Structure 1
């Protein structure tokens, strides 16, 4: 019976992993479409507004059931798990392709391990370490492939990648907080309340400090760009975070963060459809990434 339950839990975890890879792998092309009209700040803020408004009916009834300590941690989750990364990714994609941004996002598991070990007394097995190393090698290959010149170096990478790395660090902290600080709180509540707590800041910034209202009424293509960002917020942030938080509950933080190893595959495929170039070296990197995930998460 116990083995059946473990098998079912493992199957659910892998199901969430695939669905989230498809959703979040598509996020970068949606950000790209939004940036065709809106500024990075407008993209980030509207993404949070769409997600927060969508989940507001779920969050309001649950707020009064929380104590001050829970609210404090949920504010942190809202900031590092949604709010700050939304702005960082939008800023990064002003200079990075959607494919490359998706690849950099695969650094998240490394930050999960580091932050977990430093602040949450978590451990990593030898198999996890081997899998993470192989996947990291795959990421390095993807990052350093250069058209017509084999492999380049990290010096060739746009400095805007630092925004993505900072976002990955935020995700690493968020994952550990959810796993270790919210043992009893349900995933839907974590997602809905954390987003509702940062919603006012996003609303104030969007409508008081940007030209979003003007653009949506007077700029050609703005309604369609806003539609793409609404999908990004509702599906790519609100619904995806609920699924992700459920996965964190049934798996380990390292496994849950492994979705970021599959995201580059989806992101690169979207990039190809949008005219971005995929070279032979990219295939080597993709295979290494997927192999690393498989090895690192075997029981």
Structure 2
């Protein structure tokens, strides 16, 4: 019976990873018809409205400290998703997935720095693999000399913003680990999602007013599907699955399963939007994936919660 529960839990976590991997392609396509800031606004507004009926008791019984810490969490979550979504307009879904995944190796580094400790050697090795992979994945050349010669040309603003998003996601994970034991999970989940929606709305209006970003929304079946996919499946359903089933899976296996997210994203990008990577891009993807595994498998102090 216990073995059946374990396999069932692993299967559901794998399903989570598949759903998360699919978001990169879904959002990439949707950004042809809706501006990034508005997409984030609507995505998290839908999630907020769906979550609200289930957290009213927790909201009524919350003190100022809980609100303050949840608000900070929401700001970090917004910054991560805003940078990722805007970046996805300018880069490929595959690169976005692998670059976003680097938060796995950045998280223990930030955790060590905050705790005023020296980062462990496995985390340093993971970082080296990951950033070597970024160099390869950013290349369109056919020789090793081309990799470094073209880096400045091929590493664009979208790639940079996606790495920025990985930094914010890593900080989000560290901060969540610091406060999660003190607060109700439902409360934290709702407030951070709601804060993300509110900030995204304000920023979208500010961007529109200052002409930083032209707000567009051409409603069609793909956009509606993308908003429902990201708000319901990739935000609410995955959170419920992770909360229920992750306790039955070892941290090592959980880390391995979650590390598959960029692989699933790359496969989805190839199958759905015919996105391909170069030979060196494939090598870079392997380097990044190896770096994620190194950081996960040899990390003795894992933080198991990940942004969806």
Give TM-score, length-normalised by structure 1. 0.77
Task: Flag structure 2 segments of 5+ consecutive residues without an equivalent.
Answer: 210-214, 299-308
Distance in 1, matches of 2:169 and 2:8, equals 22
Counterpart position of 1:94: 89
**Structure 2 counterpart of 1:61:** 57
Unaligned runs of 5+ in 1: none
**Residue of structure 2 equivalent to 1:181:** 179
Query: Could you tell me how far apart the structure 1 residues matched to 2:263 and 2:101 are?
Result: 10
Distance 1:215 1:202 in 2: 15
Partner of 1:152: 147
SS of the residue 2:90 aligns to:
coil
Check the 8 A contact 2:87/2:162 in 1, yes or no: yes
Partner of 1:30: 26
Q: Is the 8 A contact 1:23 1:236 kept in 2?
A: yes
Moved more, 198-207 or 153-162: 198-207
SS in 2 for 1:278: coil
2-structure distance, mates of 1:208, 1:182 = 32
Q: What is the distance in 1 between the residues matched to 2:71 and 2:270?
A: 38
Q: How many residues align?
A: 286
- For 2:71, the equivalent position in structure 1 comes to 75
Task: Quote the residue 2:80 is aligned against.
Answer: 85
1:33-66 CA-partner distances (Å, limit 9, x unpaired): 2211111221121121122222122232211222
Structure 1 residues 86, 134: closer, same or farther in 2, change over 3 A? closer
Q: 3-state DSSP class of the match of 2:129?
A: helix
Of residues 27, 42, 45 in structure 1, which corresponds to 2:41? Answer: 45
CA distance in 1, matches of 2:187, 2:235: 14
Contact 2:47 2:193 in 1 (8 A): yes
Alignment deviations for residues 123-175 of structure 1 (CA, whole Å, 9 cap, x no partner) = 7543444345434434443233x154565233131123221122111111110
The correspondence of residues 76-155 of structure 1 with structure 2, limited to 5 A, is: 76-81=72-77, 83-121=78-116, 124-144=119-139, 146=140, 148-149=142-143, 151-153=146-148, 154-155=151-152
Question: 1:69 & 1:34 partners in 2: Cα distance?
Answer: 38
Distance in 1, matches of 2:256 and 2:76, equals: 18
Alignment root-mean-square deviation, CA: 3.8
TM-score, normalised relative to structure 2: 0.75
Following the alignment from structure 2 to structure 1, what is the Cα–Cα distance between the partners of residues 113 and 9?
26
- What does residue 212 of structure 2 align with? none
1:111 Cα deviation from its structure 2 partner: 2.9
Summarize the Cα distance change of 1:188–1:98 in structure 2 as closer, same or farther, 3 Å threshold. same
Q: 1:187 to 1:135 in 2, by over 3 A?
A: farther
Q: Distance in 1 between matches of 2:234 and 2:122?
A: 31
Could you tell me how far 1:210 is from its partner in structure 2?
A: 6.3
Q: CA deviation at 1:296?
A: 3.5
- The Cα of 1:245 is off from its aligned counterpart by 6.8
SS of 1:183's equivalent?
A: helix
